[in-house]
Structure 1
Amino acid sequence: MRASRLMSILLLLQTRDRVTAQEIAGQLEVSIRTVYRDMESLSAAGIPVYGDPGHDGGYRLLDGFRAKLELLTTDEAGSLFFAGLPSAAADLGLGAIVTAANLKVMSALPPELRDRAGRVAERFHLDAPGWYSEAEPTPHLTTVADAVWNEHALRFTYIRWATPHLVTRTAEPLGLVLKSGNWYLVGHTGTGLRTYRISRIMELEVLPDSVSRPPDFDLAAYWAIYLESFDQRRHHHSALIRLTAETFERLPELLDPATAQAARDSATGPTPTGYRDIRLPIESTDRAIPDLLRLGAGAEVLAPESLRDRIATETAAMARRYGH
């Protein structure tokens, strides 16, 4: 572990003109005291590294010195897929490995390409999770990922929305998907392919049974089909809504993309007064209430009558709350 860290420091020095102890500690997730000890070890090993004191100081290599690079390790090569997803790599316990792989690749680039890659990293950043949502705790993620990689079956207890809420499942893991900051396991069960949200896995056991991975399984293709069928399953019902022209134009910002698109595709009109009638896909009356209230006074529920009554009751209660 320490030898790998020393190599990472050396590669970091080769990719920068000057680097501070604080920057090294942050990159390698160690203390500054550890960095000081490592720099002494590099110097004792004959590496011509020296430090410049002061505010603009830092460590640097003697001009012209360049160490012979090692090739990427197996783990580092496998982690390159996560080079642009540091938070995902950290979730999977690959943060240090990805850092080492990036350093080796950067160090091997010619100076002009290294500078360009550095400018790209400084100017573009990918933040996968959506707004106003915190990452879910996924204590079993690394174990699941290990089972996916090593092709071992899993048995786990799982919390789901339907009753019974707590169930036990056995699955052959085929892949992991990161969607809007949430991790999902795709696995094969006795009833076919299933998708499980990893944050809802309670107890987990890795089984000795090996997974028979289908040779033609395409994780990306499966996920695309799953998302399409998910929206179809989610929206069992629909409501007839009359919208003002302004609210109709704002549907993409007021509803999730699939619902907004379905609503716009069903639109009739506009009428001479500018109104449009739409068919809004809904999962249930209870779940439709927040979405419809978000549309504000620019929307009127026409049918079903039960949903119209619920909206009337809710808005009347809100009016009383505000003294009207």
Structure 2
Amino acid sequence: MRASRLLSLLLLLQTRGRMTAGEIARELGVSVRTVYRDVESLSSAGVPVYAERGSAGGYQLLEGYRTRLTGLTEDEARSLLFAGMPAAATELGLGEVLAAAQLKLSAALPAVLRIRAGRVRERFLLDPLAWFREADSVPWLAAVARAVWDEHRIEVRYQRWDRSVVDRTLEPLGLVLKSGVWYLIAGAANPRMYRVSRIHACRPLDETFRRPEGFVLAEFWARREEALQARLFRGEAEVRLSPRARRLLFLLGPVVAEAGARRASTPDRDGWVRTTLPIESLEHATGELLRFGPDVEVLRPPQLRDRVRRAAEELLRRYHG
């Protein structure tokens, strides 16, 4: 552990230049006193590190000195997939490993590319969490991820959609992060999807398993999404939308918004368009379309038009006493 920290300290000075003891301590998550001891150890080992006094001072390496001890460990190389998602890496138990890997990569880059990489970090951020929602609590994610990597079966206690709790032995094939929610794909013979936040306990087994030949996680997930959409949207509604409703169509979700925009007619002279929206059910569509108030008119099916009309009449009675 200390050897790894000394290497991290050395690479920090190599990539950042002059740093104060306080800055180093914050980067490495140690005390300033530990930094003093580590710098002394590096100096004793022949590393040309020296201190400059004063308000603008700090530790730095002798100009021109570079170390080539930047080889990535297996865990560090594995963690680089999450280079743009530090929160996801932390949930998987790879936060510190990812930081070390990024530091080593930065140290290996030429100065010009290192500056450009720094600019990318300053200007671009990948946030996989959907708006106005918190990420799931996933205390067993790291254990599940290890089993996925090592191809070991796991025993889990899982809460199903109806809140019943069952015990399962699973063959974990992959993990998917979708809008801040982690899903486990498991089952070599018939892969299924499990929400990781519903795993109440997880015990890795010594038993390994063989991944199904030809299984591709991305392809499985794409098929799963298509099947979910087909089950979810069981009908269609023809509607008229005002310019304001067209701008707010994203409130109905990306699938509905994309379909509505793609199927829209040419706007009339008032800016209204006709389009067809996928709907889950008459009841669900009634509530969703009422959100748009007078900016939407339901044309078909007649049952949905009648539901919206009756709901509007009830609102009018309620507010007029």
User: Aligned partners of 1:18 and 1:151: how far apart in 2?
Assistant: 44
Does residue 21 of structure 2 align to residue 17 of structure 1?
Answer: no
Cα gap change, 1:27/1:250 in structure 2, threshold over 3 Å: closer, same or farther?
same
Cα gap change, 1:53/1:299 in structure 2, threshold over 3 Å: closer, same or farther?
farther
Partner of 2:174: 175
Partner of 1:184: 183
Assess if the C-alpha contact under 8 Å between 1:154 and 1:172 holds in 2: yes
Partner of 1:79: 79
Residues 18-69 of structure 1: CA distance to partner in whole angstroms, max 9, x if unpaired? Answer: 1233433333333444333323332343333233344433321122322341
Assess if the C-alpha contact under 8 Å between 2:183 and 2:194 holds in 1: yes
Secondary structure of the corresponding residue to residue 171 of structure 2: strand
TM-aligned CA deviation for residue 272 of structure 1: 7.8
Cα gap change, 1:306/1:99 in structure 2, threshold over 3 Å: closer, same or farther?
same
User: Aligned partners of 1:323 and 1:21: how far apart in 2?
Assistant: 70
TM-aligned CA deviation for residue 145 of structure 1: 0.2
Counterpart pick for 1:257 among 254, 257, 260: 254
Structure 1 residue identity aligned to 2:140: H
Structure 1 residue identity aligned to 2:254: P
TM-aligned CA deviation for residue 174 of structure 1: 0.9
Cα gap change, 1:159/1:290 in structure 2, threshold over 3 Å: closer, same or farther?
farther
Gaps in structure 2 of 5+ consecutive residues: none
Q: What is the TM-score normalised by the length of structure 2?
A: 0.86
Residues 78-97 of structure 1: CA distance to partner in whole angstroms, max 9, x if unpaired? Answer: 22222222222111111111
User: Aligned partners of 1:306 and 1:300: how far apart in 2?
Assistant: 13
Identical counterparts, % of pairs? 51
TM-aligned CA deviation for residue 242 of structure 1: 3.3
Partner of 1:100: 100
Structure 1 residue identity aligned to 2:233: H
Map 1:243-282 → 2, pairs under 5 A: 243-247=241-245, 249-250=246-247, 252-267=249-264, 275-282=272-279
Secondary structure of the corresponding residue to residue 187 of structure 2: strand
Assess if the C-alpha contact under 8 Å between 1:27 and 1:99 holds in 2: no
User: Aligned partners of 2:136 and 2:31: how far apart in 1?
Assistant: 28
Structure 1 residue identity aligned to 2:145: A
User: Aligned partners of 1:68 and 1:236: how far apart in 2?
Assistant: 60
Residues 122-161 of structure 1: CA distance to partner in whole angstroms, max 9, x if unpaired? Answer: 2222222122222211001001001001101223233343
Secondary structure of the corresponding residue to residue 225 of structure 2: helix
Does residue 194 of structure 2 align to residue 214 of structure 1?
Answer: no
Assess if the C-alpha contact under 8 Å between 1:156 and 1:204 holds in 2: yes
Secondary structure of the corresponding residue to residue 67 of structure 1: coil
User: Aligned partners of 1:99 and 1:273: how far apart in 2?
Assistant: 55
Structure 1 residue identity aligned to 2:157: T
Gaps in structure 1 of 5+ consecutive residues: none
Cα gap change, 1:51/1:188 in structure 2, threshold over 3 Å: closer, same or farther?
same
Secondary structure of the corresponding residue to residue 126 of structure 2: coil
Cα gap change, 1:288/1:107 in structure 2, threshold over 3 Å: closer, same or farther?
same
Q: Across the two proteins, how many residue pairs are aligned to each other?
A: 321
The CA RMSD measured in Å over matched residues stands at 3.0
Assess if the C-alpha contact under 8 Å between 1:28 and 1:96 holds in 2: no
Q: What is the TM-score normalised by the length of structure 1?
A: 0.85
Assess if the C-alpha contact under 8 Å between 2:243 and 2:271 holds in 1: yes
User: Aligned partners of 2:204 and 2:171: how far apart in 1?
Assistant: 10
Structure 1 residue identity aligned to 2:155: R
Assess if the C-alpha contact under 8 Å between 1:170 and 1:189 holds in 2: no
Secondary structure of the corresponding residue to residue 46 of structure 2: coil
